[in-house]
Amino acid sequence: MAKRAAASRRDFLKTSSLAATVFGLPTIIPASALGRDGRVAPSERIQMGFIGTGGKGRHNMEQFLGFTDCQVLAVCDVDSKHQDAASSMVNERYGNQDCKAIHDYRELAAHPGLDAICVSTPDHWHAVATVAALQGGKDVYCEKPLSNSVYEGRAICRAAALNNRIVQTGSHERSGDTRRMACELVRNGRIGKLHTIRINLPTTDQHHLQVKQWLEPAPEMPIPESLDWDMWLGHTPVVPYTEKRCHFWWRFILAYGGGEMTDRGAHVIDLAQLGADKDNTGPVEYIARGSRNASGLFDAFMDYVFVNIYADGLKMIGSTAGPRGVKFEGDEGWIFIHVHDPLVEASDPRILESQLQEGEVSLGRSPGHHRNFIDCVRSRQEPMASAEVGHRTATICHLNNIAMKLGRSLQWDPVNEVVIGDEEANKLLKPDMRSPWNLT
């Protein structure tokens, strides 16, 4: 669809020029339309739409607006304040009023003039919006975690494959040069045989402390005029509106997000998967214990320890210890990657000075996570964090949450994606979606 849309735009320009010549009409084509002013001609730009234009959505938009071969044409949000802010942001950048504001994501997903869509909604909307966009022939940049359940993540992978579309999960940490270098060193044996990965996911930020201290029932509040509350809830149960259930704070309510386990966990555990060469699989055993608020609105786990064991015996041990990041431990040393900080440390500084030799594993370098997506839309190559990569990382996060919720260990089959011998756990792999929402 992306190629067909681009071709139709090129055909339109050619036809318009021919018509002007035949009928004697004056033809004035600005240099920018021909790409002569250093800008990419419109027919060669990737035309994008945005579903979800809150803080993260506008941050992603800012990245894409910086590319001369990418153009934002439409925005969509259930909160008109967010939608209007995004539309104004685009129009100010381009110096016109052409950005279209679309309330219903389904209209944007089916828009024939778009090549790609960025999904930056709350987590419970990721799968439904992404699958709709993929079925509409669009390539998708979807924020991390890729999904809010194992079932939803696999649905995205299936839709991407069936429609031959590109998906980039917003796990931008794996596009960092120092992260890719560190994972190369691990995979090439610079710390010896890898036996343990330690995941640090502290919950000591100010907003974490606020969640831990919030023990009162959430008061029902009037729904803001700008917000379509029923659409915001989507496939989740109908509940009264309250401010802390919505923007930003939703991530600590399991119906909409997975707490810190999926929030930063989708970054830290993602790097663990890359360094361990496990992007297409996951652990087979999940042992996790955690605590959460006994009352109040937030039910995500805020303190936890977990041990995940891969089929080859590799252990991934996680907790709320700091600093935030991932530590690879081998029988000859260790490497620690800080997350949201480019710093990488090692047991011996000489490990980090090691150069790759011919024939060793090379992970390549990224031009930037958003740029990598645009490049892959053009080349049709797999991006740094494909749907499968994002799904496998999110699955680990979800299964740790399920193990904590049930209070028992889980035996996982990463091929068939089922919990072995535990029907109660298997029921938690898929949300009950209220009508009319579904994934097919």
Helix axes 150-162, 123-135, angle to 10 degrees: 20
Count of other CB atoms within 10 angstroms of residue 19: 11
Query: Which amino acid is present at 285?
Result: E
Residue-level pLDDT at 215: 92
Cβ burial, residue 350 (10 Å; 0-12/13-18/19+): exposed
Crossing angle of helices 55-65 and 80-94, in 10° steps, is: 20
- For position 22, what pLDDT does the model report? 33
Contacts of 21 (CB under 8 A, 6+ apart): 27
331 close to 283: Cβ distance less than 8 angstroms: no
Residues 6 or more apart whose CB falls under 8 angstroms from that of 353 comprise none
Please name which of 147, 107, 150, 116 lies closest in space to residue 134, comparing C-alpha atoms. Answer: 116
Identify whether the C-beta of residue 80 lies closer than 8 Å to the C-beta of residue 342.
no
Residue position matching structure tokens 């089922």:
418
Neighbours of 438 (CB within 10 A): 11
Contact present, 354 and 185 (Cβ < 8 Å): yes
Angle between the 177-187 and 265-275 helix axes, to the nearest 10 degrees?
A: 40
Coil, strand or helix at 4:
helix
Strand order in the sheet with 100-101: 100-101, 70-76, 46-51, 116-119, 139-142, 167-169
DSSP string, 12-67: HHHHHHHHHHHTT------HHHHTTTSSPPGGGSEEEEEE--SHHHHHHHHHHHT-
Q: Is-contact 73 48, C-beta < 8 A?
A: yes
Residues 6+ apart with CB under 8 A from 306: 199, 286, 287, 288, 289, 290, 316, 317, 318, 319, 400, 403, 404
Q: Where are the beta strands (DSSP E) in 148-229?
A: 167-169, 194-200
Q: Rounded to two decimals, what is the model's pTM? A: 0.91
pLDDT digits (tens), the chain, 440 positions: 444 444 444 343 333 333 333 333 333 434 344 444 456 777 789 999 999 999 999 999 999 999 999 999 999 999 999 999 999 999 999 998 899 999 999 999 999 999 999 999 999 999 999 999 999 999 999 999 999 999 999 999 999 999 999 999 999 999 999 999 999 999 999 999 999 999 999 999 999 999 999 998 889 999 999 999 999 999 999 999 999 999 999 999 999 999 999 999 999 999 999 999 999 999 999 999 999 998 899 999 999 999 999 999 999 999 999 999 999 999 999 999 999 999 999 999 999 999 999 999 999 999 999 999 999 999 999 999 999 999 999 999 999 999 999 999 999 999 999 999 999 999 999 999 999 999 97
For 98, 104, 196, 205, 395, the CA distances from 75, given in Å and listed in that order, are 11, 10, 44, 31, 29
Q: How do beta strands 325-330 and 194-200 pair?
A: antiparallel
Whether the CB-CB separation of 388 and 376 falls below 8 Å is answered with no
76: three-class secondary structure by DSSP: strand
At residue 41, the pLDDT reads 78
- Six-digit token string for 240: 């009264």
Domains and CATH numbers, the chain: 2-173 (3.40.50.720), 176-362+387-427 (3.30.360.10)
